[in-house]
């Protein structure tokens, strides 16, 4: 499996607006990295979200030899914003490649700050800003940039690229994605950041491949029982 | 029609409240509903007349709700299960004062501190009226993020229409899940509130909002009058949705997230030729008794699917006057029934019917 010409750095950080799709992208990205490396870690830095965590996909990650670093309290009833000490292994063991899933908004990004000195010292990371045109109140480029700046200020680290994950949940069509291109380009122009990739649910990949640069298919590794079953 | 947006249930209900004219929110954080307060804290200060206040406790918050409600303004609070218990005293006072307000419960597992995962174990508390005294709440049970929006708007409307508190009884799944929603709200009705405490300006007699009656016969009279209003609500406001009930031999009754899982189970059972359908109560009080009674003349068995130890099941039995057996398919403590859980209960209903 190829890596869609993405040339991953040793550490890839996904951050963005609450509900922009960071966790699922981080899981898919880690799985993609695991095709070329047997030393992949994924770290869940989310201290905001009580549900829908990286740990939900523990099985798929484990099956692909990916090391999951997550609070032992994630998905339990212990509602504390605790981070595991094991996260430091991501920075200490430079033989591993790592994906870091940061919590939403500036509140979630606060947790990243303490690891920034390690990342800057090594200088082999990228921090990607996940955006979705269809999230309420962030659907215009200017508001998106405001959120970007809030996150950068909280995380004490600047983004290096954009992930356009524009979707409208189960109702997403190829047209939804195509219609989001101009929005992503505007965010890119305003921020000066490149659009690193456009992520789409895998059922739309063939239809969109070639029409948008750096398109990456996403699978949903946790199928919730209340979602309509696909025939 | 404007474009759909992707929203989390908690955000969607908060935005819907603002669209319905609510400018006052009082609350205290608790998982899994904290996004409602977080959203309101960002949005309300930017809106003219908007007030967001994080109270020192749930008890304080519900009494602030009572204060604003007495001035006739649309007002809300939200919490999750343990927080609703704390608010119960205030809810009883609001009902006793005949004031409109919206109270949101994004339920989590209980009893006690319980857990933070989704639950429906406050069904009885909500439908029988949390707090002391003879009173009811209108209880709305959304089963999608879109319904979080629609039911919030409807909740404010019913609260004003009947001058009483309304509860949006949601659960952690509904609060946390993201789905596409339309925020097109066709119509927000407004109501005259001649009873509101807004200052007499020396032009009228003072209005008094109160739940204390010094004479027992007066209190009795008010309670009887209030129950006449409740009887009208029971007659006119019950809402439900039927799914594949035309030829059903087994009827699932489920609301909220349990109805979503049940619908998938029904589709799978139908593939095997099993005639099963669902009645999904949208109002839990008033409970759709007539729809269930009618169904009891056609189906052989009922299955109550709930995220609790079996609470709605009693209301089903009452509605159908115990004419048919009602089986229970339940998970609790923060667990959600799986499609397989529901399917095996459907099998049990069918096999039991053949004996």
- Cβ of A169 and B179 within 8 Å? yes
pLDDT of residue A225: 78
Q: What ipTM does the predicted assembly reach?
A: 0.88
- Answer yes or no: do B286 and B193 share one domain: no
Euclidean distance between CA atoms B355 and B176, whole angstroms: 43
Q: How far is CA B88 from CA B92, B106, B127, B137, B222, in A?
A: 6, 15, 13, 11, 21
Using the 3D structure, point to which of B205, B236, B267 is the last residue of a domain. B236
To test the contact with chain A by mutation, choose from B178, B256, B334 the residue with the greatest count of A C-beta atoms within 10 A, namely B178
Helix H or strand E segment including A199: strand A195-201
Q: Do residues B168 and B17 lie in contact, with contact meaning Cβ atoms separated by under 8 Å?
A: no
Q: Which two tokens stand for residue B203?
A: 């032009």
State mean pLDDT over A166-172.
93
CATH of the domain at B197: 3.40.50.970
Superfamily of domain A11-218: P-loop containing nucleotide triphosphate hydrolases (3.40.50.300)
Mark out chain A residues that contact chain B at CB-CB < 8 A: 18-19, 49-52, 77, 79, 132, 134-136, 139, 167-171, 224-229
- Report which of B173, B113, B143 is spatially closest to residue B335, judged by C-alpha positions: B173
Of A97, A100, A101, give the one whose Cα is nearest residue A38.
A97
pLDDT band at A1 (very low <50, low <70, confident <90, very high): very low
Give helix B58-69 / helix B81-96 axis angle, nearest 10°: 30
Name the residue among B5, B6, B32 with its Cβ closest to that of A51: B32
Say if residue B251 is in the same domain as residue B122: no
**Are both B223 and B249 inside the same structural domain?**
no
Q: What is the CA radius of gyration of chain A?
A: 17
Whether chain A has a CB inside 8 Å of the CB on B306: the answer is no
HSE at residue B86, side-chain half, CA atoms within 13 A, is 22
Q: Is B270 on the interface with A (CB under 8 A)?
A: no
Task: Tell me: pLDDT of A228 over 60.
Answer: yes
Strand partners, A99: A12, A42
How far is the alpha carbon of B307 from chain A, nearest alpha carbon, in Å? 13
Residue B260 contacts A, CB cutoff 8 Å: yes
Q: How many domains does chain B have?
A: 2
What is the structure's pLDDT at A3?
64
> At residue A227, does pLDDT exceed 90?
no
User: In this prediction, what percent of chain A has a pLDDT beyond 90?
Assistant: 72
Give the pLDDT of residue A72. 79
Task: Order the strands of the B24-27 sheet from edge to edge.
Answer: B51-54, B24-27, B75-79, B101-107, B165-171, B138-140, B283-285
Q: Which of A21, A168, A226 to mutate to test the interface with B (most CBs of B within 10 A)?
A: A226
Low-confidence ranges of chain B (pLDDT < 50): 1, 355
Domain that holds residue B162: 5-236
Q: Would you call A31 helix, strand, or coil by DSSP?
A: helix
Structure tokens at A66: 């990916």
- Set of chain A residues whose Cβ sits within 8 Å of the Cβ of B261: 225-226
Helices (H) and strands (E) in chain A, counts: 9, 8
Q: How far is A134 from chain B (nearest CA, A)?
A: 5
Contact between B17 and B156 under an 8 Å Cβ cutoff? The reply is yes
Rg of chain B in Å (alpha carbons): 21
Q: How far is CA B173 from the centre of its chain?
A: 14
Query: What's the confidence (pLDDT) of residue A18?
Result: 86
Verify that B248 and B229 share a domain, yes or no: no
Scanning every residue of chain A, which has its alpha carbon at the shortest distance from the alpha carbon of B181?
A: A168
Contact across the interface for B267 and A229, Cβ inside 8 Å: yes
Dist CA A218 CA A201 (whole Å): 5
Q: Are residues B100 and B46 in the same domain?
A: yes
Please tell me the predicted confidence (pLDDT) of residue B22. 98
Write down the domain spans for chain A: 11-218
Q: Are the Cβ atoms of A226 and B257 closer than 8 angstroms?
A: yes
Give the pLDDT score at A160. 97
Ranked by mean pLDDT, the top range of A98-107, A132-141, A157-166 is A157-166
């Amino acid at each position: 499996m190829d890596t869609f010409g993405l040339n991953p750095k040793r550490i890839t950080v996904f951050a963005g607006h609450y509900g922009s799709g960071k966790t699922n992208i981080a899981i898919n990205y880690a799985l993609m990295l695991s095709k070329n490396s047997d030393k992949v870690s994924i770290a869940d830095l989310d201290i905001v979200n009580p549900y829908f965590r990286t740990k939900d996909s523990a099985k798929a990650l484990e099956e692909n030899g990916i090391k999951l670093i997550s609070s032992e309290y994630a998905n339990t009833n212990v509602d504390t914003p605790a981070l595991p000490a094991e996260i430091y292994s991501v920075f200490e063991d430079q033989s591993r490649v790592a994906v870091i899933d940061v919590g939403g908004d500036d509140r979630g990004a606060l947790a990243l700050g303490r690891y920034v000195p390690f990342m800057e010292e090594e200088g082999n990371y990228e921090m990607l800003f996940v955006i979705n045109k269809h999230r309420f109140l962030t659907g215009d480029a200017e508001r998106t940039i405001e959120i970007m700046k809030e996150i950068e200020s909280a995380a004490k680290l600047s983004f290096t690229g954009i992930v356009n994950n524009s979707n409208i949940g189960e109702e997403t069509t190829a047209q939804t994605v195509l219609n989001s291109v101009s929005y992503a380009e505007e965010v890119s122009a305003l921020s000066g950041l490149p659009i690193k990739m456009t992520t789409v649910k895998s059922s739309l990949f063939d239809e969109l491949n070639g029409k948008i640069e750096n398109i990456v298919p996403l699978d949903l590794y946790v199928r919730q029982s209340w979602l309509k079953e696909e025939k | 029609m404007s474009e759909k947006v992707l929203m989390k249930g908690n955000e969607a209900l908060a935005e819907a409240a603002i669209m319905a004219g609510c400018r006052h929110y009082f609350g205290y954080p608790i998982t899994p509903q904290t996004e409602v307060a977080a959203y309101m804290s960002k949005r309300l200060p930017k809106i003219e007349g908007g007030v967001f206040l994080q109270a020192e406790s749930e008890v304080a918050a519900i009494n602030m709700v009572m204060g604003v409600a007495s001035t006739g303004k649309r007002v809300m609070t939200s919490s999750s299960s343990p927080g609703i218990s704390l608010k119960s005293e205030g809810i009883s006072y609001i009902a006793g004062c005949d004031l409109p307000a919206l109270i949101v419960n994004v339920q989590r597992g209980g009893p006690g501190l319980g857990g933070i995962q989704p639950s429906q174990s406050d069904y009885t508390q909500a439908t029988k009226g949390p707090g002391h005294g003879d009173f009811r709440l209108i209880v709305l049970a959304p089963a999608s993020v879109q319904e979080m929006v629609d039911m919030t708007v409807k909740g404010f409307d019913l609260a004003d229409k009947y001058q009483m508190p309304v509860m949006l009884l949601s659960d952690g799944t509904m609060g946390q899940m993201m789905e596409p929603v339309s925020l097109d709200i066709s119509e927000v009705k407004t109501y005259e509130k001649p009873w509101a405490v807004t200052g007499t300006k020396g032009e009228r007699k003072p209005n008094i909002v109160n739940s204390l009656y010094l004479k027992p016969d007066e209190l009795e009279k008010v309670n009887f009058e209030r129950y006449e209003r409740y009887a009208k609500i029971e007659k006119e406001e019950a809402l439900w949705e039927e799914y594949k009930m035309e030829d059903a031999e087994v009827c699932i009754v489920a609301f909220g997230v349990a109805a979503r899982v049940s619908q998938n189970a029904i589709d799978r059972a139908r593939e095997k030729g099993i005639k099963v359908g669902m009645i999904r109560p949208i109002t839990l009080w008033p409970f759709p008794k007539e729809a269930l009674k009618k169904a009891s003349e056609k189906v052989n068995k009922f299955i109550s699917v709930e995220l609790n130890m079996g609470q709605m099941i009693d209301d089903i039995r009452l509605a159908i006057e115990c004419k048919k057996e009602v089986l229970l398919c339940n998970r609790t403590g923060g667990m959600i029934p799986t499609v397989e859980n529901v399917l095996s209960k459907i099998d049990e209903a069918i096999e039991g019917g053949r004996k």
